[in-house]
Amino acid sequence: MYYRMTRLHFEEDAFDGLVEWMTAQNRRLKDIDGLLTWDLARGGATDGMIIASYRDQAAYETATSEVDSILEEMAPHLTDRPHGHDGTVAYSLDL
């Protein structure tokens, strides 16, 4: 698997709107070939992270333009541009 971690910053009272907007994107996300999971984790009152997993790096690279478009459209719900990293798992523990 291959992962993309994208950091988000938003106003505290805008989070519910962000989740609502994200939910409205479900069909688009499901149509991305090779995208396995897309999780929005809230790290604090004004920040969070999207953790997306892909079948492999090739699927990630193919999906990049569509995902970048979705992240750009998310701008009205954010206070700063999303920024992220991608890569493979270096260590994993299944309990």
**pLDDT tens digit sequence for 19-64:** 999 999 999 999 999 999 999 999 999 999 999 999 999 999 999 9
pLDDT at 65 > cutoff 90: yes
H-run or E-run covering 30: helix 26-30
Evaluate the CA torsion angle 14, 37, 29, 72 in order and state its sign: positive
- pLDDT for res 94: 86
H-run or E-run covering 53: strand 47-54
Residues 6+ apart with CB under 8 A from 49: 5, 6, 7, 8, 40, 41, 43
Full-prediction pTM beyond 0.75?
Answer: yes
In whole angstroms, what is the distance from residue 27 CA to residue 44 CA? 27
